[in-house]
Structure 1
């Protein structure tokens, strides 16, 4: 098992606002260690890390992909430090103490209400108070062991595919919500909150087959019908919406409807259910530091862009509770666990 190293550095660029990536070169090839959107005129903190599986010399590069080859990168206060499992556990324990625990005062009394000076109390945790979740599929509807396993562990869920456009409207104008309706009823019966996933998916591969042949005007009309139908149907029944899935990696709707397509969808969803939180949803945000498209900086930047254009608050990054409605207040691992 390799040793984990962290690499903090301050980065500035002479012009523009591109991502700057830290890359290590070794005898076995190149390894990405982190990235940050750098700016001219101010310093940006790059916080990266990597797992070292070999020994020997290595070279550290900071790279940027811009047309102007004369652009300069300035780097200061670079360090490479070990990050042990003990330190990781320390961060974990600190977070648990801060967000998952609180002091409880217990007062033991008898049947007449008199305080008991000496007694033994046994406490059993039946369900976690803080929200934690996972996805479910239609298979849960007729699978009792699956139901028991899920309901004993999770308090929040999303549906894997059953709310997606290609599932609910396989032919134009022929909507079928019977499966997600049944899954929602199951969740409600068991006190499990549901976040809607998703209204649109920006990956061209996962559009309904009939959508791919539409003209821009036809797509605009179909998209309006889709968002109005599903958001109105589940209004007041779910806690939030993944409005446009993976719109940092893909841009199907922008290619057809213009650069502000995602912002328009967020705005429309907010109009339909003003009190419902709208989520951005991405993957590989932190797990792969060489993924420049969906790095944390791009996520935050695009979230602020959506708030500016869509005039929607709150918008949250998927994965964390959003207390203030500002995207810059939260940061999410790009996993597909529906933790809210």
Structure 2
């Protein structure tokens, strides 16, 4: 599957290496004594992370460790921090996420507020050896209220944005109802417009594949109203193919979304052309591309 994704330009995130919820552990893991649990966890890290090192865009090293603490109760308060350190040394070039729910979507859940999320991630990064790891913020985004609290979402993103780390909305879905499509669009636009948010993943798909909450297409593969919202925004937020002419000095300027680009330039008089690939990111927003034709 990873080979197929690589061959077709599909990015992959590793979700997840560990889940801190006891209920989600394999039956044989739940009652292991600490020493045996540590051996099992180390084997999993070494087998999974090492196998795909350098091939993914991110790992959810620990999932939902604000709401749950299976590994902390078994291995001590620094269990999550220790696993991030181990994952970093196995795959130092890949971004490591802390993935959590209700941080942006539920103002009534005080377990995983933006401030508590920030505190926990700072604790992980302060663990010996973790200061230089490529950390990122993973916010699931399972919105269930009839009307999403966009102001609360924005304030949480603002707080977490002060960490200077990439933020991804990793599992966005919205509860059903007559306003589902409208609510999804509000959430996606809010996330996309925030300067700290670098990625959004939709937790939805075909009804035939079991996505009954956020169904993007019906059994006939026709888009649902929420599917139409996703299609509309994808088309709106991509630059697409552009054709521009230079001025008399050979200069042309264009505004682009972040992403990978290929520029193809042709000279009408010299009957020649050339091309160059480049990437637009937050760090390289103003790019000058110089191409010279030899007469």
- What is the TM-score with the length of structure 2 in the denominator? 0.48
Q: Name which one, 1 or 2, has greater alpha-carbon Rg.
A: 1
- What is the TM-score with the length of structure 1 in the denominator? 0.42
Higher RCO (C-alpha 8 Å, min separation 6): 1
